[in-house]
Chain A
Amino acid sequence: MRTNPGGQIDPAEIIGRDELVSHLWDVLLRQSLVLTAERRMGKTSVVLKMRAEATADKLPIYRDLERVHTPMEFTQLVYDDVSAYLSMLNRTARRAQQLVTQLGGTEVKGLIKLPEMAAPHWKTLLTKILEDLVEHQERTVILFWDELPLMLYNIKSRAGEDAAMEVLDTLRSVRQMHPDIRMVFTSSIGLHNVLSVLRAAGYANAPTNDMYTEDVPPLNLEHAHELAVRLLKGEHVQTNDLMICAERIAKLVDGIPYFIHHVVDQLKQRGGVATVETVDAVVHSSISDQHDRWHLRYYRERIDIYYSPEERPFALNMLDVLSLAEEPVTFNELFNQLKSRMVTEDREQALRVLSLLQRDHYVAQREDGKLVFRFPLIQRCWRIHRGVE
């Protein structure tokens, strides 16, 4: 088994996700799913594993929606997938085809063309296509829609907020009318990020409140250790003690698989015998790497991109405080320290931003209610990138 940071992993080589995948299948028996994950946790690998291991009574259809910029493009993709499935059953998407004809459109080699004036009918068309699917599906078709929030961003930019809202609402109404349909939304950015933008434009619905939300956590230490061992062996990295080195890797990167791949990759490049010290050195140099090979500045830069100008100072200052805290802190303690860094008495805003930070996996709340940086590795980076050491 070779390291592959960022690349596509062989589903057979995905480690430590069996329980999660089995739980997700259970969920999908009942309802649709929003699969959230911090970047680099291996969400795509989880989806890949589900696609690869689906039982005979299920048919996963995967689409990466990042490229989609209009509701009609999205509709076309769904039409392609449903038509491909139905043609395997020697059937056609009758309802959808009829609608296209009624609207004065054409279908040439699978490509739907609607006259310009009929373009707003994409909603009806999308509904009809999904109805065609529901009518004929012999197995449970599961529509894996990756990067759905990015598509919504694209649509918002190209066709306005309303169009993005309509897509979400249409999908929700299809799910409500046809309880047998299964959708899985996944993304490298949180759905809440795009929803907060839409809310600012007046959107008041909760378009996924019928779906089950599950978070992809990092690997537990046992599985992270196993992954490190297999990578070290697969890459023929010599160690003075395989088990201890693997344990160190797993611990230092908080069980995040992407970084485990990176550490072993760098140990391989260094050559020689790997020890706990070399592991420490690799992790340390990567955190402060000027080329940022681990893409760690992401955690700092994301705040500028997805947080509003009002939210930003709250987010940055609260994370600064938490990154320096040696012990978990209560919200009151956090808010007090925040006030020593910025002039505010807006407790509500602080709470709102804190909740965003929790959803974006920066902050975790322990059982006793106290707050900590969720990942020690990211906490170290934060201190370095913010110069708060």
Chain B
Amino acid sequence: MMSTTFLSRFTPSIMAPRILEAIFVQRKPLAERLVELIKDSALTRSKHHTLLIGPRGIGKTHLVSLVYHRVRQADVVKEGRLLIAWLREEEWGVMSFLDLLLRIHRALVAEYKDQELESRVEALFEMSADEAERAASALLKDYVGGRTLLIIIENLDDLFGGLDDEGQKRLRSYLQENPFSTILATSQSLFRGVSLQTSPFYGFFRITHLEELSIEEATQLLSNIAELDGDKDLAALIGTSLGRVRIRALHRLAGGNPRVYIIFSQFLTRESLNELIDALMRTLDELTPYYHERIRWLSQQQRKIVELLCDRGSAHSVKEIASRSFMSHQTASGQLKLLRGMGYVQATPLGRESYYELREPLMRLCVEVKKHRDRPIRLVVELLRSWYTTEELQKRLSKLPPDVGGPLSEREHIHAALTEYQSAEVLVSLSNTERINQAALGLVRGVEIEREVNARIISEAVGKMARLMARRHHLEQSGHTMEDLAQTALLKFLTRADSAPESLYEVNDFAAYLYRIVRDTAIVIERKEARRQGREHIPELTEFQRRIDFLVERTPPSPDEVLEMRVLLLNRTLSYLLTAGDKDNLIERLTELAREMSGSGAEDVLSESLIRSFILLYKEEDPDTEQLNLEEWYNISKEILESYLEYELTLRILEKIVRYSKTKDKRILLELPLEERTFMEPLLDD
């Protein structure tokens, strides 16, 4: 469904206050704080000046628009203590202090529809520039009277660029001599006008850097948009594992930039590939001139560095950048500092070195589109694979008219995504799970006619799995017991599912769910065995027991709970096997998991569990026990997962953890592109 509410992607300042409030996330305390500071400026002789810094699309205009609307409703405005002049994004052509004064007057005229002020401002144009500046200064002071003036300035960096040193000095002097203004300004990055210690506004502003959205905040944003639009499809999708996968994919693309989520929010639920690709390409098209313009402003040396970082994707030391661009270390370092000041790159200091990378993932994407016209864009291909199953892609491809071609066409992107799938598919056998799924759905839906057949299929599957499991856990003696227990648990569960909404278990999930019941039953039995033999069982098993009780005795869990349990159980199982050094079992388990998960849309569950298991080993590696070491575990994982392209990123991350564990050299982590690092770092920080 199309959005019913007007969400302007590029001009939040024209959105209704209700909408701005409804989709506002993460920065609620900051917005409250800004309103407080403005009120304090209006009510006392203190005057606060705040500068918000963040790249394009981070939500600066959204935030100031929201603050503007809130302040307008506040008592300080109603009681006439505060005036507002809002200099919006498009205030081009301010070349002098006089120009700035005129813009402020114009903003006041627009805000208060004051005709008298308008005619007094008109009269200024009759004067010489010197006279007009004096008169405009005096007029502003006179108009504000004893009140406070809130000046909202968007893109302060541009404005200061136009004002130049002299204009900035005049402004600063005016503010010092006439302390009736409080300023709320925004800028894309720190700029010389505030960061250079000889500039007039050095240290003048309270500077706040706006943070990118975390994946949770992005999910919240999307939920808010769904609610605002009454988009039930989107709201429902967000809670599902498919929704999570898509949001994760989007998060990698967006790098926490709210505007990108807003652009793509309406496409999350789409099954039509066309619209998604269109939206992505249109966004890139819209942004390309902007990024090209930004690159055009740079010196040749700076362009060279930016292009290098676009190509390489990850953070690099000054030394590497210098040698790759044939520059001296000093030149590269100087240029990088300038680029950082202008907001193109960001630096991570490590010891005495700094590692630089591009600040905006979209910039890299735009450059990639233009530079590699002859091949599909890697990120789009990745996005497609996260978004659609093989079948969906095949279906889509068959519907495309044959004459649509070219390296950047939809066809080529689908082809690329499918090719990546195919090699994975050879290893995956889905027939068995598919059959189980159908049978389970039949049972859950209560289709009487095939009840017996379905029950038999399930029962056989459970039996097979139980036997397999018994063998794996060396519990052959208890094979029957295990099968019985698993069957009982399963039937108990199925019969309790009095209403069986289809969404309860997506087709792909059910076989996995069955499998888990059996496996968990095996663990329960292992515990009993342990007790019987007088050996200690693994403490984690208590948790498994609790989970199984929970499964058996209550109504079916929600998809969210299923997912959560899945992650938990996977984590525990892997860590248990790893600690026990049970190599054969690990290989078998991982092979099956990879097969089971492939194409299910929940590959990230396995990825996350794997990464966690690595971090666990990394943190607790103990040569005195039988547990596997990181490298062995990596080799096993690599061998099994290498053929599944959806784990490419995961393996890349794992490899870094292994190398990092040996050298503790943080540069290794910096080899990962920013978006991949943001995926891993929260786990490392746990």
Q: How many A-B residue pairs have CB under 8 A?
A: 97
- Choose among B174, B177, B203 the residue that contacts A6 (Cβ–Cβ < 8 A): B203
Stretch at the interface among A23-31, A64-72, A163-171, A338-346: A64-72
**Contact at A298–B206, with CB atoms within 8 Å?**
no
Residue of A nearest to B127 (CB): A109
User: Taking the complex as formed, is B456 at the interface, i.e. its CB lies under 8 A from any CB of chain A?
Assistant: no
User: Taking the complex as formed, is A280 at the interface, i.e. its CB lies under 8 A from any CB of chain B?
Assistant: no
**Contact at A66–B173, with CB atoms within 8 Å?**
yes
Docked complex: A242-271 residues within 8 A CB-CB of B? 258, 265, 268-269, 271
**Contact at B45–A66, with CB atoms within 8 Å?**
no
Contacts of B169 in A (CB 8 A): 66-67, 150, 154
User: Taking the complex as formed, is A10 at the interface, i.e. its CB lies under 8 A from any CB of chain B?
Assistant: yes
- Shortest distance in angstroms between B211's beta carbon and chain A's nearest beta carbon? 11
In angstroms, Cα B200 to Cα A13, docked, is 25
User: Taking the complex as formed, is A63 at the interface, i.e. its CB lies under 8 A from any CB of chain B?
Assistant: yes
**Contact at B177–A63, with CB atoms within 8 Å?**
yes
User: Taking the complex as formed, is B406 at the interface, i.e. its CB lies under 8 A from any CB of chain A?
Assistant: no
Docked complex: B159-187 residues within 8 A CB-CB of A? 166, 169-170, 172-177, 179, 182
Residue of B nearest to A304 (CB): B197
In angstroms, Cα B598 to Cα A144, docked, is 76
Docked complex: B195-233 residues within 8 A CB-CB of A? 195, 197-198, 200, 202-207, 209
In angstroms, Cα B46 to Cα A7, docked, is 7
- Shortest distance in angstroms between B143's beta carbon and chain A's nearest beta carbon? 18
**Contact at B46–A67, with CB atoms within 8 Å?**
no
- Shortest distance in angstroms between A353's beta carbon and chain B's nearest beta carbon? 20
User: Taking the complex as formed, is A172 at the interface, i.e. its CB lies under 8 A from any CB of chain B?
Assistant: no
Residue of A nearest to B45 (CB): A10
In angstroms, Cα B36 to Cα A305, docked, is 38
Contacts of B248 in A (CB 8 A): none
- Shortest distance in angstroms between A50's beta carbon and chain B's nearest beta carbon? 15
Contacts of B42 in A (CB 8 A): none
User: Taking the complex as formed, is A8 at the interface, i.e. its CB lies under 8 A from any CB of chain B?
Assistant: yes
Residue of B nearest to A61 (CB): B177
- Choose among B46, B135, B176, B206 the residue that contacts A64 (Cβ–Cβ < 8 A): B176
User: Taking the complex as formed, is A58 at the interface, i.e. its CB lies under 8 A from any CB of chain B?
Assistant: no
- Asked, given contacts A66-B173, A67-B172, A111-B130, whether A291 binds B200 with beta carbons under 8 Å apart, the answer is no
In angstroms, Cα B40 to Cα A4, docked, is 10
User: Taking the complex as formed, is A178 at the interface, i.e. its CB lies under 8 A from any CB of chain B?
Assistant: no
- Asked, given contacts A6-B203, A298-B202, whether A11 binds B170 with beta carbons under 8 Å apart, the answer is no
**Contact at A109–B131, with CB atoms within 8 Å?**
yes
Contacts of B49 in A (CB 8 A): 6-7
- Choose among A39, A64, A305 the residue that contacts B172 (Cβ–Cβ < 8 A): A64
User: Taking the complex as formed, is A102 at the interface, i.e. its CB lies under 8 A from any CB of chain B?
Assistant: no
**Contact at A7–B176, with CB atoms within 8 Å?**
no
User: Taking the complex as formed, is A221 at the interface, i.e. its CB lies under 8 A from any CB of chain B?
Assistant: no
- Choose among B36, B176, B179, B349 the residue that contacts A2 (Cβ–Cβ < 8 A): B36
- Shortest distance in angstroms between A160's beta carbon and chain B's nearest beta carbon? 18
Docked complex: B8-56 residues within 8 A CB-CB of A? 29, 33, 36-37, 40, 44-49
In angstroms, Cα B347 to Cα A265, docked, is 25
In angstroms, Cα B200 to Cα A5, docked, is 16
**Contact at B46–A9, with CB atoms within 8 Å?**
yes
In angstroms, Cα B89 to Cα A317, docked, is 46
Residue of A nearest to B190 (CB): A291
- Shortest distance in angstroms between B441's beta carbon and chain A's nearest beta carbon? 48
- Choose among A5, A146, A147, A302 the residue that contacts B206 (Cβ–Cβ < 8 A): A5
Residue of A nearest to B198 (CB): A305
User: Taking the complex as formed, is B312 at the interface, i.e. its CB lies under 8 A from any CB of chain A?
Assistant: no
- Shortest distance in angstroms between B468's beta carbon and chain A's nearest beta carbon? 51
Contacts of A383 in B (CB 8 A): none
In angstroms, Cα B182 to Cα A387, docked, is 38
**Contact at B166–A111, with CB atoms within 8 Å?**
no
- Asked, given contacts A7-B47, A7-B49, whether A295 binds B134 with beta carbons under 8 Å apart, the answer is no
In angstroms, Cα B166 to Cα A154, docked, is 9
Contacts of B619 in A (CB 8 A): none
In angstroms, Cα B49 to Cα A40, docked, is 16
In angstroms, Cα B46 to Cα A62, docked, is 18
User: Taking the complex as formed, is B352 at the interface, i.e. its CB lies under 8 A from any CB of chain A?
Assistant: yes
- Choose among A66, A268, A290, A295 the residue that contacts B200 (Cβ–Cβ < 8 A): A66
In angstroms, Cα B49 to Cα A298, docked, is 20
Contacts of B36 in A (CB 8 A): 2
In angstroms, Cα B29 to Cα A265, docked, is 13
- Asked, given contacts A64-B176, A65-B173, whether A11 binds B45 with beta carbons under 8 Å apart, the answer is yes
Residue of A nearest to B133 (CB): A111
- Shortest distance in angstroms between B40's beta carbon and chain A's nearest beta carbon? 5
- Shortest distance in angstroms between B209's beta carbon and chain A's nearest beta carbon? 6
- Choose among A40, A293, A298 the residue that contacts B207 (Cβ–Cβ < 8 A): A293
Contacts of A290 in B (CB 8 A): 347, 349
In angstroms, Cα B198 to Cα A161, docked, is 19
Contacts of A200 in B (CB 8 A): none
In angstroms, Cα B203 to Cα A146, docked, is 17
- Shortest distance in angstroms between B115's beta carbon and chain A's nearest beta carbon? 24
Residue of B nearest to A301 (CB): B197
Contacts of B347 in A (CB 8 A): 290
Docked complex: A277-304 residues within 8 A CB-CB of B? 290-293, 295, 297-298, 301-302
Docked complex: B470-500 residues within 8 A CB-CB of A? none
- Choose among A9, A146, A301, A387 the residue that contacts B176 (Cβ–Cβ < 8 A): A146
Docked complex: A148-188 residues within 8 A CB-CB of B? 150, 154
- Shortest distance in angstroms between A294's beta carbon and chain B's nearest beta carbon? 9
Contacts of B177 in A (CB 8 A): 62-64
- Shortest distance in angstroms between B131's beta carbon and chain A's nearest beta carbon? 6
**Contact at B198–A10, with CB atoms within 8 Å?**
no
- Asked, given contacts A2-B37, A69-B166, A291-B209, whether A8 binds B179 with beta carbons under 8 Å apart, the answer is yes
- Shortest distance in angstroms between A291's beta carbon and chain B's nearest beta carbon? 6
- Shortest distance in angstroms between B14's beta carbon and chain A's nearest beta carbon? 30
In angstroms, Cα B174 to Cα A301, docked, is 27
**Contact at B197–A298, with CB atoms within 8 Å?**
yes
Contacts of A13 in B (CB 8 A): 44, 46
Contacts of B135 in A (CB 8 A): 109
User: Taking the complex as formed, is A88 at the interface, i.e. its CB lies under 8 A from any CB of chain B?
Assistant: no
User: Taking the complex as formed, is A56 at the interface, i.e. its CB lies under 8 A from any CB of chain B?
Assistant: no
- Asked, given contacts A2-B37, A4-B48, A290-B349, whether A39 binds B173 with beta carbons under 8 Å apart, the answer is no
- Asked, given contacts A2-B36, A109-B131, A291-B207, whether A67 binds B197 with beta carbons under 8 Å apart, the answer is no
Docked complex: A1-51 residues within 8 A CB-CB of B? 2, 4-13, 39-40, 44
Sample (8) of A-B pairs whose CB atoms are under 8 Å apart:
A2-B37, A6-B49, A7-B47, A12-B44, A40-B203, A63-B173, A66-B200, A271-B29
Given contacts A292-B195, A298-B197, 11 further A-B contacts (CB under 8 A): A2-B40, A2-B48, A7-B46, A13-B44, A67-B169, A67-B174, A109-B131, A154-B169, A265-B206, A295-B197, A302-B197
